[in-house]
Structure 1
Amino acid sequence: MKISAIKTLRLAEFANIIWVVIETDEGITGLGETFFGASAVEAYIHDWCALRLIGKNPLHLQDCVNQLNDYIGWRGAGVETRAYSALDIALWDLFAKILQLPLADALGGRSRDKIRTYNTCAGYKYVRDKRGQSVENWNNGQAEGPYEDLEAFLTDAGALAQSLLDDGITAMKIWPFDIAAERSGGLEITPQELRTALKPFEQIRSAVGDDIDIMVEFHSLWSLPMAKRIARELAPFKTYWHEDPFRMDTPSDVKDYAQSCDTWVCASETFNGTAAFRQYLETGCAGVVMLDLSWCGGVTEARKIAGMAEAWKVPVAPHDCTGPVVYAASCHLSMHAKNALIQESVRAFYTGWYPELAEGLPEVERGMITLNEAHGHGIALKQELWSREDATIRRTA
């Protein structure tokens, strides 16, 4: 069997996402995905990566991965790494299909059959804006469905927490500090802004007590001094973790931050490869390893990162707030990795626009995720996507 072609798909409606299909001369295909800079990723896949994969045996998976290591672009999660990540996910999907196994089993077997999920409280349009993930991307009262959870945590977080508990979901992630950070560049927060940002935590604890865990997402927006101040203000609310409180370009700063934080530090969906995560783990203050399969180097790197974190006795929690393929692949990794703690999901996505695009999604029931038993990661794009008027398709053979 040989890789015969590389094909990509972008949709104007979902401008941040690109899908890549690896074709073989025997008709079996693998599907990958990444997020941000989709048109630039498309160019790199076809101009550089495709030429190095076509003709290769997909069962020689590590050789295929080795071919993608460019002289530049390997240190950060930029265009090159996002391209590698999408192709790597597709290679593993293809590999597992050839073996006729679900991806979790092709990785070496499962540690569990289900895993707890937390709900990232995004709304239906959160990542569909060309600007990507921004607290501004909410609907201001014009709901597309029952789970406008971004608007909900900004307006009535207590009712949102109760809604999640009613669905059996016992953990939630919110980011009310982003508004002040976007205004000030992360350099300051006014007393009024601080009171407003703390209000959702007050509402949640008043409504449901300690029955739900609260993850705090900071999106790397704060200066280190302000991040430390905010951490101290959050202490009474017994939050579950603090995620990416500042830009993680110097992981050693985590040790400084941890002195002001009485809960786990969680980092970082923006890291690429084992070297960056090693630096984070070496601080001795890593509480949770947060990795994103579409930004860290794909399944190959994610598996190594999880193993390295296990050696440091630190849990992993795969990130997902992007598209359906990364979500499914992340769930498979969570079933496989011994030290997987919890899996991110977004109910506005998996009940909303994910089913518009794809079939074979993992199931979420009473706060637990389970997989379908299809071969590979189980996701298939709906065929009509390829004939949409807003589709951009490119194929290299």
Structure 2
Amino acid sequence: MKVTALETLTIAEFPFLFWLRVHTDVGIVGTGETFWAPGPVASYIHDNVAPYLIGKDPRDIELHDRTLGSVYVGARDSGAEVRGNSAVNIALWDIYGQALGEPLWRLLGGRTHQTVPIYNTCAGYKHVRASKKNSLFERTEDWSLQAGDSNDGPYEDLLAWRFDAGKLAKSLLSEGIGAMKIWPFDIAAEASNGTRISLSDLDKALEPFKRIRDAVGRDMEIMVELHGLWTLPPALRIAEALKPYDVAWLEEPIRYNELDAMAELARHTSTPIAASERLASRQMFKQLIDKRAASVIMIDLAWCGGLSEARKIANMAEASELPVTLHDCTGPIVYAASCALSATLPNAVYQEAVRAYFTGWYTEIVADLPPVTEGRVAPLDGAGLGMRLREELFERPDATVRRTGV
């Protein structure tokens, strides 16, 4: 089997998403995906990856990982090279599974969990869609929106946690979802550049936690997303203020590559620190683990190097008695691959999911999705990823399609 062509797709409506199809001479097509700045990723794929990969056997996944990962620059962080390599790796595993007629989870060692509990990242329907707010250098949340400003569907969870977090918690529990993630501290971080948080801003940010606990008591786990926006002193203040609410973790409280500051915070709070979706390569995660800067290891397949690298990172965390959770607030291909990998990892505690996505716009991209039942997700059983991009995406007027090869 040989690779014959690499085909990339971007869609203006989803300006941060990037899709890849790897074509072979036996008719099998593998699908990959990554997230953020798709233009540079596409250039890297066509200018650098295609000349190497075309004509090679796509099943030599480890060889291709090592070769593509040995570039002079961009090999140790989630730059365009690593994001592109992540998409390639997922597509090659998809090809391998189709060639053998087996699902990804079988190829990755088989299930250690039949299903994995999800936590719902409380984003809304427009969270990754194009708008005047979308920019590589701007936050995508519009803090001026008020309750009722969006009626795209029943799961406008971004506005729900801002204005009625207790009602949202009840809604999630009614579907068997016992964990949710919110980010009420971000507006204060943006105002101060993360350098301070006033007591009044702290009280405002704590209000959703109070409402959740008042509504459902301790039946809901609450994850706190801090988006790496804070310096150490306000992060310490936030951690201390959250103690009465017994949150599940503080996610990326400090910039993701400031490992010493993260370790300092970890030493001064009993609340677990989760990090970091934005780290790439097992070498960077080894530093995070060795410094005990995080006690929940969060991995994103689109940014760390793909399925192969994620599995190695998870195994390294397991050797250090640390749990992992697979980050996904991006697209359906990475989501499906993550659900497959989560099912195989004995130290996986949660799979991230966004119900506004998997019941909403994900269905515009693919036909099949991992089923969520009573707050738990099962991997797809089809060969490889068990899904493919809808063909009509390539005919959309806002689609940009590039192909290198025959």
Tell me the TM-score range normalised by the shorter chain: over 0.9
**Does 2:242 correspond to 1:241?**
no
Q: 1:179 aligns with which of 170, 180, 187?
A: 187
- Residue 307 of structure 1: how far off its partner (Å): 0.6
The answer to whether the 8 Å contact 1:324/1:379 transfers is no
**Distance apart, 1:72 and its partner CA:** 1.1
CA distance in 1, matches of 2:89, 2:178: 32
Cα distance in 2 for partners of 1:101, 1:250 equals: 41
Residue of structure 2 in register with 1:37 after alignment = 37
Q: What's the offset of the Cα at 1:380?
A: 1.1
Q: 1:164 matched to which residue of 2?
A: 172
CA contact (8 A) 1:52 1:67 kept: no
Correspondence 1:303 to 2:307: no
Cα displacement string for residues 339-358 of structure 1 (whole angstroms, at most 9, x for unaligned residues): 11110000000001000111
Please tell me whether residue 131 in structure 1 is matched to residue 135 in structure 2: yes
SS in 1 for 2:87: helix
Deviates more, 1:12-21 or 1:124-133: 124-133
Structure 1 residue 164, shift from structure 2 partner: 0.3
CA shift digits 1:128-183 (9 cap, x unpaired): 24337633278542221000101011101000000000111000000000011111
With structure 1 as the length reference, what TM-score do the two structures score?
A: 0.98
Q: Is the contact made by 1:99 and 1:106 (CA closer than 8 Å) also made in structure 2?
A: no
Structure 2 distance, partners of 1:249, 1:16, is 22
Q: Once the 2 structures are TM-superposed, how far is the Cα of residue 286 of structure 1 from its aligned partner? A: 2.6
Bigger shift: 58-67 or 203-212? 58-67
Question: 3-state SS of the aligned residue for 1:234?
Answer: helix
Report the counterpart of residue 94 of structure 2 in structure 1: 93
Match status 1:76 vs 2:57: no
Q: Which residue of 1 aligns with 2:262?
A: 254
Separation in 1, partners of 2:4, 2:150: 46
Determine whether 1:223 maps to 2:213: no
User: Which amino acid is the alignment partner of residue 131 of structure 1?
Assistant: S
Residues 94 and 13 of structure 1, relative CA distance in 2, 3 Å threshold: same
Quote the Cα distance in structure 2 between the aligned partners of 1:315 and 1:222.
Answer: 24
SS of the residue corresponding to residue 10 of structure 2 reads strand
Amino acid at match of 2:135: R
Shift of residue 77, structure 1, vs aligned partner: 0.7
Give CA-to-partner distance per residue, 1:322-365, whole Å, 9 cap, x none.
Answer: 00001000001101112111100000000010001112210111
**Secondary structure of the corresponding residue to residue 176 of structure 2:** coil
Out of 280, 285, 297, the residue aligned to residue 272 of structure 1 is: 280
CA positional deviation for 1:10? 0.4
Matched, 1:112 2:113: yes
Q: Percent of aligned pairs with the same residue?
A: 48
Question: Does the 8 Å contact 1:53/1:67 carry over to 2?
Answer: no
- Alignment-derived partner of residue 46 in structure 1: 46
The answer to whether the 8 A contact 1:96-1:103 is kept is yes
For the structure 1 residues 123 and 139, does the alpha-carbon distance in structure 2 shift closer, same or farther, using more than 3 Å as the test?
farther
Instruction: Give the secondary structure class of the aligned counterpart of 1:359.
Output: coil
* Map of 2:357 onto structure 1: 349
In the TM superposition, what is the alpha-carbon distance from 1:285 to its structure 2 partner?
A: 4.7
> Is the 8 Å Cα contact of residues 138 and 151 (structure 1) preserved in structure 2?
no
Alpha-carbon separation, structure 1, partners of 2:380 and 2:327: 20
Distance in 2 between residues matched to 1:359 and 1:74, nearest whole Å: 34
Taking the aligned partners of 1:79 and 1:137, their CA distance within structure 2 comes to: 30
Shift of 1:287: 1.3
- The residue identity in structure 2 corresponding to 1:27 is G
Write the distance in 1 (CA, Å) between the matches of 2:237 and 2:143.
27
Q: Does residue 207 of the first structure (1) align with residue 208 of the second (2)?
A: no
Structure 1 segments, 4+ long, off by >6 Å, are none
Structure 2: runs of 5 or more not aligned: none
Q: Is the 8 A contact 1:116 1:369 kept in 2?
A: yes
Residue 2 of structure 1 aligns to which amino acid in structure 2?
Answer: K
State how far apart, in whole Å, the 1-side matches of 2:337 and 2:61 are: 16
Measured after TM superposition, the shift of residue 284 of structure 1 is 2.8
Match of 1:143 among 136, 151, 156: 151
* Bigger mean CA offset, 386-395 vs 275-284: 275-284
Q: Which residue of 2 aligns with 1:21?
A: 21
How much does 1:113 deviate?
1.3
State how far apart, in whole Å, the 2-side matches of 1:171 and 1:348 are: 15
Query: What is the rounded CA distance, in whole Å, between the counterparts of 1:262 and 1:5 in structure 2?
Result: 51
User: What are structure 1's unaligned runs of at least 5 residues?
Assistant: none
Provide the secondary structure at the position in 1 that maps to 2:259: coil
1:139 and 1:276 mapped to 2: Cα distance? 38
Q: Any idea what SS the aligned residue of 2:30 has? A: strand
Aligned to 1:195: 203
Q: Deviations over 1:195-247 (max 9, x none)?
A: 11000000000000000000000000001111111100111100001100010
How far apart in 1 are the matches of 2:232 and 2:102? Answer: 45
Structure 2 CA distance for partners of 1:22 and 1:260, relative to 1, 3 Å = same
- Residue-pair matches, total: 397
**Over residues 294-334 of structure 1, what are the superposed CA-to-partner deviations in whole Å (9 max), with x where a residue is unaligned?**
00000110010011001001011000000000100000110
1:377 maps onto 2:381 in alignment: no
> Secondary structure at 2:102's aligned position in 1?
coil
Q: Provide the rounded CA distance (Å) in 2 between the counterparts of 1:386 and 1:138.
A: 35
Counterpart residue type for residue 36 of structure 1? W
